[in-house]
Chain A
Amino acid sequence: DSGVTQTPKHLITATGQRVTLRCSPRSGDLSVYWYQQSLDQGLQFLIQYYNGEERAKGNILERFSAQQFPDLHSELNLSSLELGDSALYFCASSARRGVSNTGELFFGEGSRLTVL
């Protein structure tokens, strides 16, 4: 158990809909990262938050948005869903702003999104 909690574990929805994925980081971790993993794209970095502020943005679509709340949990909002958005969405946390020299990211078990 990494200590990172993601909900829901599974989600099935239709094209055009909007969903929200939730992540609770490990206790005390200030950084939250979101990743998307689909079969043909590997693990893609989406966005990072540190203590409520956006720190880095990766390959995140304009239809997607995220935020980190004062209690440090984070939400990833996916709107106008398309079939290609079907993927595993992982949240990870770390203690510091970046992990280049701090050790490790702790990943949750992911939220599997299926868009029909």
Chain B
Amino acid sequence: LAKTTQPISMDSYEGQEVNITCSHNNIATNDYITWYQQFPSQGPRFIIQGYKTKVTNEVASLFIPADRKSSTLSLPRVSLSDTAVYYCLVGDGSGAGSYQLTFGKGTKLSVIP
């Protein structure tokens, strides 16, 4: 079962770029890396997913090194509304068609005015 390790919390000022790194040393060959955002009392919401190198969408970028043992979520120019918990998720592809999606503790990002 792939496990992830993220910083518990981070603070950032508005307008800054925020990078959140996730370690996943036991990632399997078929696993993808997915990041979710969660606001209080709401369900998590998909941000971005990648397999290797770099992926970018309208809200974030995801950097994955060649060994895939870690990944970095980059949020450009954060605003107060980006204050949330961010989860790194690694699909546990067992090869038997059964997947468990393990959320770690997440990183609580606090954006300061």
Contacts and interface: CB of A to CB of B under 8 A. Distances in A.
A43 B103 contact: yes
A60 to B, nearest CB: 11
Nearest to A107: B43
Interface residues of B, number: 28
Interface of A: 2, 4, 33, 35, 42-45, 48, 55-56, 58, 88, 90, 92, 97-101, 103-110, 112
27 contacts: A4-B43, A35-B103, A42-B106, A43-B103, A44-B103, A48-B99, A55-B99, A56-B98, A56-B100, A58-B102, A88-B41, A90-B43, A98-B93, A98-B101, A99-B99, A99-B101, A100-B31, A100-B93, A101-B91, A103-B49, A105-B44, A106-B46, A107-B44, A107-B45, A109-B42, A110-B42, A110-B43
Interface of B: 30-32, 34, 36, 38, 41-46, 49, 51, 87, 91-93, 97-106
